[in-house]
């Protein structure tokens, strides 16, 4: 299973598709040759963007230093966060 029908290239591939050599940016016509039973779905960028914003907002609760690298990747400076996380974790017996 892959997404990307609207662009003509693979936007995201399932683990099964990746095992067959299909990766992001792969042309759909070549992907169909490799896997004739391939299920191709449209990408849901609106929902993906919504969850992306939610994730970045969660990161910013812990540090203001969040560098967004792409819609689903970011770098955060969490120096000193260990103390804060200990307060959030339940005590061990």
Strands 73-76 and 66-70: antiparallel
State the catalytic residue, choosing from 46, 67, 73, 91.
Answer: 73
Taking the CA of residue 82 as centre, how many other CA atoms within 13 Å lie in the half-sphere pointing to its CB? 2
Q: Helix, strand, or coil here: 45?
A: helix
Q: Is 73 a catalytic residue?
A: yes
Q: Which residues are catalytic?
A: 73
């Amino acid at each position: 299973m892959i997404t990307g029908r609207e662009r003509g290239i693979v936007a995201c591939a399932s683990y099964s598709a990746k095992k067959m050599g299909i990766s992001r940016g792969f042309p759909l016509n070549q992907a169909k040759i490799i896997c004739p039973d391939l299920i191709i779905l449209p990408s849901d960028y609106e929902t993906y963007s919504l969850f992306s914003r939610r994730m970045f907002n969660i990161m910013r609760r812990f540090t203001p230093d969040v560098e967004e690298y792409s819609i689903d990747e970011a770098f955060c400076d969490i120096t000193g966060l260990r103390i804060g996380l200990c307060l959030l974790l339940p005590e061990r017996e």
